Amino acid sequence: MLSESRTRNEAVFNRIREDILCGVLAPGSRLRFADMCARYGTSVGVVREALSRISEQGLARMEPQLGFSVVPVSVNDLRDLTEARCDIEGLTLRYSVQHGDLAWESSVIAIHHRLTRTPTHIGDDSRTFNEEWGTIHKQFHAALLEGCPNRRLKGIALSLRDAAEVYRRAGQRPTDHASERDVEAEHRAIVDAVISRDADAAVAALVHHIRATTDYLTHLNGASFIQPARKGA
């Protein structure tokens, strides 16, 4: 019975977390217990536990007297997040290149192949983002870091990537396809460096990829979806 309860709790946690990452629960929105219990068909205790765990991952926050809300987005926070990702995700990839075995290398090549064969948009409709591509893209970046033997470092890097996903979803526009970026070439540069076991080149390519996404969100696509940070925030 205890195991079944934990399984149900984990399922609710995963559903709420995924809804935040996918933008179903919008940045800054209040997460009222009554609404959440009705949406996920569970109790206040289960929702509270899930939101507490999600807050620890930086995807939600709890304020006294106000309760929980999805973490808001701001230009300042995006810049801080980008710097943290470049440093921490870059170091994690460096360790992956240095310590990853042939099985790790093969997994990176395989998921990259799937990514290149999956369209970013559905059919001829360039206005409809392909969620399958988004899932494989996430798997690709996770695979890059999987060769790192430091589990704590890897966990932090993946948590930062999740926070960045909130921004990517919030900034997604029907005109995303019009970007002058060659994202496929950016991914290929990372993989080529990984296969060559060139840690410096791999980190440089990853950092370029991360910064290009931030530049796109704050400049090319406009920043109207990001609310200015409060002073002192």
Instruction: Write the CATH number for 59.
Output: 1.10.10.10
**Which CATH number belongs to the domain containing residue 123 in this structure?**
1.20.120.530
Q: How far apart are CA 106 and CA 104, in angstroms?
A: 5
The identity of residue 188, as a single letter, is: R
Question: Is the domain of 194 the same as that of 100?
Answer: yes
Is the model's pLDDT at 102 over the cut of 70?
A: yes
Instruction: Kindly state the average pLDDT of the residues 153-175.
Output: 79
Asked if residue 97 has pLDDT above 60, the reply is yes
The stretch 84-105 carries a mean pLDDT of 97
Answer yes or no: do 111 and 175 share one domain. yes
Q: Residue 231 above 50 pLDDT?
A: no
User: Is residue 120 within 8 Å of 130, Cβ to Cβ?
Assistant: yes
The verdict on 63 and 88 lying in the same domain is no
Domain that holds residue 51: 2-70
More confident residue, 56 or 103: 103
Residue 227 lies in a domain: no
Q: What is the Cα–Cα distance from 3 to 225, expressed in whole angstroms?
A: 42
Average pLDDT estimate for 18-33: 87
Where residue 93 falls (left for φ over 0; alpha for ψ -120 to 50; beta otherwise) is alpha
Same domain, 36 and 107: no
Dump pLDDT digits (tens) for 200-229: 999 999 999 999 989 888 875 455 555 544
Is position 34 within any domain?
yes
Residue 181 sits in the same domain as residue 107: yes
* Domain final residue, candidates 70, 87, 121: 70
Residue 67 pLDDT > 80: yes
